[in-house]
């Protein structure tokens, strides 16, 4: 078992590193990492349903997509992330609870009683401190989770408040829970940097593992995957499962009705009416579902609608 402490705070780098260790290597790894401000959605989620993209832009919070399923999580440097990558054998390393147990025991040694909920997250007195997700391929399993140590709760809350729009999709929806930072409830006063080093030492002891530093080739492969995939519109937005927006709203005393279909992040079909008059929208077809839809090509009425939708 190789225990790795990531050298980077770049969330795209760390998500790419997970995939490199999972797909390109044969050994077992535990990766510990922190990231700068970011919101990470599950593989099959719709970022428009899950997060406030305007707020992310205002606060310079990155949006990222991971290869596992599950719900949306907020990351910052007060959030500790762990990634376990194993080759399964004789039924081992298949249950969430089995892979979360070392974290529960570590926190108990720190004087904190936590438990694993029926939703496969970790809680302290019914408040969530950790969310988890998994990805499997053939005989290999990737299990990763968050540990809210000293995350910015205000940024977390505002980031995960999407616009009130009627989305229609089969995308996986996040389940919101009341959260608490470990720093508030741990008996000892400790920094996040010290906490992650203690967790690293615990994993080395628990799994009879070894401290491991990434080699140059792995780092270069990871950087390439960041550029080719994790930091691209095609993966972050374009991978979004198809969804629709069908709703109506008043702007002043005028009623707007809109029916949009979005496929791979782009407008596929659109019908918009203003007081039953159909607006010309052909020029929107195949455009990215983004602020680019607000343009000089559109009449003022159409731009007013798009300002509310994107």
Q: Are residues 268 and 223 in the same domain?
A: no
What is the per-residue pLDDT for 59?
97
What is the DSSP-derived secondary structure letter of residue 179?
B
Range name among 5-14, 89-98, 146-155, 301-310 with the lowest pLDDT average: 89-98
Assess whether 262 and 138 both reside in one domain.
Answer: no
The answer to whether residues 230 and 247 belong to one domain is no
Strands (E), the chain: 2-5, 29-33, 38-41, 62-65, 73-75, 79-87, 115-116, 122-124, 127-130, 132-137, 140-148, 167-169, 210-212, 243-251, 254-263, 266-274, 277-278
Of the three residues 217, 236, 255, the one that is the final residue of a domain is 236
Whether 90 shows a pLDDT value over 60: the answer reads: no
Q: What is the C-alpha separation between 45 and 119, in angstroms, rounded? A: 18
Cβ(267)–Cβ(289) below 8 Å: yes
pLDDT at res. 91:
53
Evaluate whether 139 touches 90 at the Cβ level (below 8 Å): no
- The whole-model pTM stands at 0.94
- Confidence (pLDDT) at 94: 60
Same domain, 150 and 288: no
Nearest by Cα to 159 from 44, 59, 34: 59
Whether residues 177 and 271 share a domain: the answer is no
For the stretch 6-36, pLDDT in tens is 999 999 999 999 999 999 999 999 999 999 9
Q: Kindly state the helix (H) or strand (E) to which residue 102 belongs, with its residue range.
A: helix 96-109
CATH classification of the domain holding 66: 3.30.930.10
- Average pLDDT value for the chain: 93
CB 126 within 8 A of CB 118: no
Domain boundary among 236, 265, 282: 236
pLDDT tens digits along 139-160: 899 999 999 999 999 999 999 9
Q: Are residues 47 and 149 in the same domain?
A: yes
Claim to verify: residue 139 and residue 267 sit in the same structural domain: no
pLDDT score recorded for residue 299: 87
Taking only the tens place, the pLDDT of each residue in 247-275 is 888 877 888 898 999 999 999 999 999 88
Question: Which pLDDT value is given to residue 93?
Answer: 54
Residues 113 and 159 in one domain: yes
Predicted confidence (pLDDT) per residue in 41-75, tens digit: 999 999 999 999 999 999 999 999 999 999 999 99
Residue 105 belongs to domain spanning: 2-236
CB 51 within 8 A of CB 45: no
Same domain, 106 and 186: yes
Domain count, the chain: 2
Same domain for 202 and 154?
yes
Boundary-marking domain end, from 236, 269, 287: 236
């Amino acid at each position: 078992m190789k225990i790795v402490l990531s050298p980077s705070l770049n969330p795209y780098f760390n998500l790419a590193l997970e995939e490199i260790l999972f797909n390109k290597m044969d050994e077992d790894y535990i990766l510990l990492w922190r990231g700068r401000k970011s919101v990470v959605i599950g593989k099959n989620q719709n970022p428009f349903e899950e997060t406030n993209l305007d707020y992310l832009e205002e606060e310079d919070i990155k949006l990222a997509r991971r290869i596992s399923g599950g719900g949306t999580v907020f990351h910052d440097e007060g959030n500790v992330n762990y990634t376990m990558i194993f080759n399964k054998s004789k039924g081992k390393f298949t249950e969430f609870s089995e892979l979360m147990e070392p974290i529960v025991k570590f926190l108990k040694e720190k004087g904190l009683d936590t438990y694993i909920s029926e939703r496969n997250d970790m809680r302290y007195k019914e408040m969530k401190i950790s969310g988890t997700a998994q990805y499997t391929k053939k005989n290999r399993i990737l299990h990763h989770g968050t540990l809210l140590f000293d995350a910015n709760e205000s940024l977390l809350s505002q980031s995960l408040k999407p616009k009130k729009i009627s989305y229609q999709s089969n995308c996986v929806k996040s389940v919101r829970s009341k959260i608490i930072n470990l720093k508030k409830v741990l008996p000892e006063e400790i920094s996040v940097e010290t906490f992650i080093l203690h967790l690293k030492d615990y994993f080395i002891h628990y799994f009879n593992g070894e401290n491991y530093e990434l080699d140059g080739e792995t780092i270069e492969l990871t950087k390439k995957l960041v550029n080719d995939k994790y930091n691209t519109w095609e993966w972050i937005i374009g991978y979004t499962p198809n969804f629709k927006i069908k709703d109506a709203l008043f702007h002043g005393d005028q009623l707007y009705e809109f029916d949009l279909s979005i496929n791979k992040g782009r407008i596929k079909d659109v019908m918009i009416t203003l007081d039953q008059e159909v607006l010309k929208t052909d020029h929107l077809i195949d455009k990215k579902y983004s602020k680019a839809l607000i343009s000089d090509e559109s009449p003022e009425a159409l731009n007013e609608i798009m300002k509310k939708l994107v």
